[in-house]
A = this chain, B = another copy of it.
Amino acid sequence: MEFKINSKVLEKLLAKIIPAVPSRTPMPILENFLFDIKDGLLNVCATDLEIALRSSINVAADENLKMIVSARLLYDIIRSLDDTQIHFETEANLKLKLTTENGVYNLSYALPEDFPAIPAVAEDSQVTFSGNDLKKAIDLTSFAMSKEDMRPAMTGMLLEFSEEGLRFVATDGHRLVKYINKNIKTELEEQYVLPERAISVLTKLLGETDVKLCLSKTNISFQMGSLEFISRLIGEKYPAYNSVIPMENENLLKIKTADLLSTIKRMGLFSASGTKQVKFSLNKNSLEVSAEDIDHGSNANEKVSCEYLGEPMDIGFNTAYVNDVLSHIEEADIIFKLHSPTKACIIEPTVMKENEDLMMLLMPVRLNN
């Protein structure tokens, strides 16, 4: 079997697929690209069993062949070449020979008998999306996914189709983000939970290109131009997150996002490393934020200008979580909706963008003193 291809064209193709190659795996076969050359089309794919990437390009090959080649080695060779024509040729003893104007490179290939099959996702349930919209939804919510394996569904991100729009939800029990894209309305109430690895790879692939989502019970596929990204879905049911969202929190704190974020970053230097606790002391149109690190004998407090309408209260938060929430809000003005020092607090932009809805929730922590 032989074909020719330009080095830069192939580099671009392999660069799209390599994110699915696991860097450490107990199954060395996954460290390969699968090259499926069939009827003038070169189909390249890779998988780590959780996610898979697949793309293709026309090549004038003289035969059909399926083979697997060391992904990292081939990718490194191709991208180290200048812009040149490469002649691919298979030889006896499972040898693959690459020839360019100045060089010859021989590597091994193998037959793909044991290479796992990439699941095909039926196209009957599908939605089309702007790549940037999807990226935005992921960027806003993914930080709140749980890092702990206790409840597998919470380690992933919920995609929930509804009449209201497509909801993206992530929570680790301490904070929760719900973002709704109202452009995508469907009559069915379907839930899908994407694993963390899918989210982290997907966010790097998303851009201007439109994305076609295809969904099955067990898998999701994202088609972006000639590239297809497939991920398994988490089987466990997502927790009933709506039950933790308070219906009415009547104490309202309006504040500039940047002002509070700047204060919180400083408080992070003073809050004790164990509890990371920061205290908000609220009085009419007045907020004092304070933190203390008893072990190091240091403490700090700052006044932050705000509008506060509600009961005077002292409420504690985890500095890192407040920092996370504030860092992910683009809008200049936010509102904290509070009930009491032991009940969940809602944080939202004061003005919502058209066709979207963003809500962040933070659980308070019990104050030391």
Interface residues of A (CB under 8 A from B): 70, 73, 76-77, 80-82, 95, 102-108, 262-263, 265-266, 269-270, 296-304
Contacts and interface: CB of A to CB of B under 8 A. Distances in A.
Contact of A106 (B70, B262, B300): B300
Given A105-B270, A106-B300, 18 more contacts: A70-B296, A73-B269, A73-B296, A77-B266, A80-B262, A102-B303, A102-B304, A103-B266, A103-B302, A104-B300, A104-B301, A105-B266, A105-B300, A106-B297, A107-B296, A107-B297, A108-B297, A108-B298
B102 A302 contact: yes
A210 B87 CA distance: 55
A277 B270 CA distance: 53
A186 to B, nearest CB: 45
B107 A73 contact: no
A232 B80 CA distance: 42
Contacts of A297: 95, 106-108
Contact of A262 (B82, B265, B266): B82
A105 B265 CA distance: 13
Nearest to A95: B297
A95 B302 CA distance: 18
A70 B293 CA distance: 14
A259 to B, nearest CB: 9
20 contacts: A73-B269, A73-B296, A77-B266, A80-B266, A80-B269, A82-B262, A102-B302, A102-B303, A103-B263, A103-B300, A104-B300, A104-B302, A105-B266, A105-B270, A106-B298, A106-B300, A107-B297, A107-B298, A108-B296, A108-B298
Q: How many copies of this chain are found per oligomer?
A: 2
A238 B265 CA distance: 49
A81 B266 CA distance: 8
A265 B73 contact: no
A170 B247 CA distance: 70
A241 B106 CA distance: 41
A104 B266 CA distance: 11
Contacts of A296: 70, 73, 107-108
A219 B270 CA distance: 38
A255 B105 CA distance: 22
Contact of A301 (B81, B103, B107, B300): B103
A77 B296 CA distance: 14
Contacts of A106: 297-300
A82 B302 CA distance: 13
A364 to B, nearest CB: 22
A291 B97 CA distance: 15
Q: Which 10 A-B pairs have the closest CB atoms?
A: A103-B302, A108-B297, A105-B300, A107-B298, A80-B266, A102-B302, A106-B299, A76-B269, A102-B303, A80-B265
A299 B104 CA distance: 8
A224 B67 CA distance: 61
A266 B103 CA distance: 10
A51 B293 CA distance: 31
Contacts of A298: 73, 105-108
Nearest to A297: B108
Nearest to A108: B297
A76 B303 CA distance: 19
A285 to B, nearest CB: 15
